[in-house]
Structure 1
Amino acid sequence: MSVALLNIHARRRQRVAAVPFGDFVVARIRAGQKRLADGTRREAVDTGHYLIVTPGVLLNVENLPASDGPYLSTCVAVSRDLLLEKHWTSDATPTAWAVLPPSPALDQAFAHAESGLQQPLPQAVLVHRVRELLEALDLGGFRPVAMQQPALAERVRMLLAAAPDKAWRAEDIAAAMAMSAATLRRKLAAENTSFRAVLEEVRLARALTLIQTTTQPLKRIADDCGYRSPSRFATRFRIRFGTLPSALRE
């Protein structure tokens, strides 16, 4: 199981298309507003409210600064392991993503998980705090769509995400999965994707996170995500997310 804490800060309005959520994410909006759309519905997440997104979801995201300051949000990202073991009791309609209002139980559980990640605490304690957060979501009326074991593309994603800057070849991942490169390509094609497509998705998703949560120079981010040419990185990023990396940094 992996857990991460991410803080997003934006002084100007941000629009990012088709943002991939590889982990289970619980985000609290600290200031400003987040707007989301998935092709069938639109939602706005106001200050103090929570956004919950299950793994595998793509959302068009817009971050709007507050009238008196920047947009701020804190995200707890959890690998799907704990989500798979949780027995949900809420009778709410299962959903891939949801917006929940603040409540004493949810506020305290989120703050508990956040403080544990800031320290950070030992893994066993963090697991306990994440379970507490999941229970608070359950009590708050959230019920995720049925989680399944990850498909091959998702398993490839997990391996690539460990080192997105590496000069990966299909043969490397195939060997790690005890299959031939040809078999890997055939199985990915059956899931309507390819090794190159998954690799680029992993690299660009990582770049998006670094741009929004760190002050690293864009050239370094490009390099850390496997792009030796900053101009090619900017082009691929714009095609994927509908905006330039420099526009998000502004």
Structure 2
Amino acid sequence: MTSDLIASLSRFAARDNRPSDDDLPDRPILGAFFARDRERMGELTIGKTILVILLDGTKEIADSRGSHRFGKGTALLLPAGWTGTVVNEPDPESGVYRSLVLQFPAEMVRRLLRAHGPDGVAKPGRSGDFRVPLTPSLGAAVLHAAEGLSEGSTVSPLVAGHRCMEVLLCLLEGGAWWLGAVTPTGVGDAVRALLRAHPDRPWTAETVARELNLSTGTLRRRLAEENISVRRVLTDERVAHARHLLENEGLSVQETAEACGYASRSHFARRVRDATGLNPSDLARDGD
């Protein structure tokens, strides 16, 4: 993040004005964390999807996946339902911790995903620590939204909402498929997006649940309500990925099997055959 952008965003974080889940639940909220002392918030649950931009100091978050540290000029996106511990540390030189927070209501995230969906992400993926690239387009969108949401703004709530939708769209196009990983579109979509992003990993119900910050029992119960399972979704996503690699990328059957997480070529062939009625070699662009 450039120094000019930091300076522009810092004016919205000149004082502590941290948002609450109870504040305007149906509208986006602009907030700021400003502190001169170290803060630790344990067993914290995020009620809404939030974008955090670090303007001064460092932030550490810890959950079931591990601990991650963020410094000045970085951004992270935490989905609704995230639970963990947050530690904010003031910068040794400036003596302050400062971050800008954009909080998005669930219905706004739902509208975006209904219109564009996880399938609209060009390169789905996740850094593992919720970090998002603060590109020039995202930075400009955040600044535009902050100007509309700031105290004393003459921008109407409708226009400010459209500006926040632009921020969400920039995040989605940047690969942040976990915008509403659990609550906005359902657990099934969250599982599909996760497995689509990493079809080669040795997924189990336990590892999927951990990635989505759910218990294994809750994950299975919610998927059962949607009449699907982790095994079914995993097979579907791996076979779809295999078809793409064989038909469009020119990979061999063995290379495709490995890219889709199958150690056994025969097991891979059986899965593809059961799903498509064809052998992998029949799908290969140039044969195998």
TM-score category (smaller protein): 0.5 to 0.7
Deviation for aligned residue 1:140: 2.2
2:173 counterpart residue number: 139
Between the aligned partners of 1:45 and 1:117, the Cα distance in structure 2 is 25
2:97 counterpart residue number: 71
Provide closer, same or farther for how the CA distance between residues 146 and 20 of structure 1 changes in structure 2, counting only shifts above 3 A: closer
Can you give the 5+ residue segments of structure 2 that lack an aligned partner in the other structure? 1-25, 187-217, 219-288
Provide closer, same or farther for how the CA distance between residues 120 and 71 of structure 1 changes in structure 2, counting only shifts above 3 A: farther
Deviation for aligned residue 1:15: 1.2
Check if 1:55 corresponds to 2:80: yes
TM-score (norm 2): 0.49
Instruction: Map 1:1-250 onto structure 2 (within 5 A).
Output: 1-69=26-94, 70-86=96-112, 87=116, 88=118, 89-90=120-121, 91-93=123-125, 98-118=130-150, 119=153, 121-144=155-178, 146-148=181-183
Amino acid at match of 2:32: N
What SS does the aligned partner of 2:177 have? coil
Larger Rg: 2
Between the aligned partners of 2:64 and 2:36, the Cα distance in structure 1 is 27
After TM superposition, where is structure 1 displaced by more than 6 Å over at least 4 residues in a row? 94-97
Share of identical aligned residues, percent? 24
Q: CA-to-partner distance for each residue in 1:187-218, whole Å, 9 max, x for gaps?
A: xxxx9xxxxxxxxxxxxxxxxxxxxxxxxxxx
Between the aligned partners of 1:42 and 1:64, the Cα distance in structure 2 is 15
Provide closer, same or farther for how the CA distance between residues 16 and 148 of structure 1 changes in structure 2, counting only shifts above 3 A: closer
CA RMSD of aligned residues (A): 2.3
| Larger RCO, structures 1/2 (Cα 8 Å, 6+ apart) | 1
Between the aligned partners of 1:115 and 1:15, the Cα distance in structure 2 is 29
TM-score (norm 1): 0.56
Greater share of residues in strand: 1
What number of residue pairs does the alignment pair up?
Answer: 152
Between the aligned partners of 2:183 and 2:45, the Cα distance in structure 1 is 18
Can you give the 5+ residue segments of structure 1 that lack an aligned partner in the other structure? 152-190, 192-250
Between the aligned partners of 1:120 and 1:96, the Cα distance in structure 2 is 39
1:214 counterpart residue number: none
Deviation for aligned residue 1:149: 5.5
